[in-house]
Structure 1
Amino acid sequence: MAGMNQERMLQVLRAPHISEKASVQADSANQVVFEVARDANKKEIAAAVTKLFDVTVTHVTTANMKPKQKRFRGRPGVRSGWKKAYVTLAEGNEIDFLDGATS
């Protein structure tokens, strides 16, 4: 998407989603998981990742995470839902969020 400006790119990608499942996907399928804007589409996500991290994106899969019922100080409440994107990178491309930090 040539018409996507820098500000929209930063709005599309909210944060990397780091979890045990995301780590497994990164190792086995060369995928990175991001929390993205709810209104972002796959083309926007691919363009933003390509531009910001200078990698080649081969595939994007999105999933809407439903809001969860939780209790806050004994009162029922609802956590807001969010959208995540599984971004498959081309062979040889890598995004390292931990900057090589190992425990």
Structure 2
Amino acid sequence: MNILKNQVLTEKTIRLLQRNQYTFDVIIRSNKTEIKSWIEQFFNVRIKGMNSHRLPNKKKRRGKTFKYSGHSKNKRMIITLKKNYSIPLFLNE
């Protein structure tokens, strides 16, 4: 089972790479322990800490009013690795 959807590369996540923190979009129903064990086995790294958050709903305009789309379909994980470990930026699929 592939828990990770994709790596996130934005200005903020590139700054986080200097602190050995990597950002991924993951399946929303997965939890931290599943993600931690999967990443440690797949990339052969050791994880120091993890933070997660759900992305906000998107605002859409319908005539004069604004409506929000349904629930967010992604969860974003910021993973901090221990020293001397790294993850390649681009995965070959």
Q: How many positions carry a matched residue from both structures?
A: 87
Structure 1, unmatched stretches of 5+, are 1-6
Q: Partner of 1:85: helix, strand, or coil?
A: strand
More helix by share: 1
TM-score by length of 1: 0.73
Query: Which deviations, in whole Å up to 9, do the C-alpha atoms of 1:27-54 show, x marking residues without a partner?
Result: 1x21000001111111111111111111
Please tell me the root mean square deviation across aligned C-alpha atoms, in Å: 2.2
TM-score, normalised relative to structure 2: 0.80
State which of 17, 20, 32 in structure 2 corresponds to 1:26: 17
Residue of structure 1 equivalent to 2:78? 86
Residues 43 and 33 of structure 1, relative CA distance in 2, 3 Å threshold? same
Percent identity of paired positions between Structure 1 and Structure 2: 23
Question: Which of 82, 90, 96 is residue 88 of structure 2 equivalent to?
Answer: 96
Determine the structure 2 residue equivalent to 1:64: 54
Unaligned stretches of 5+ residues in structure 2: none
Which has the bigger relative contact order, CA under 8 A and spacing at least 6? 2
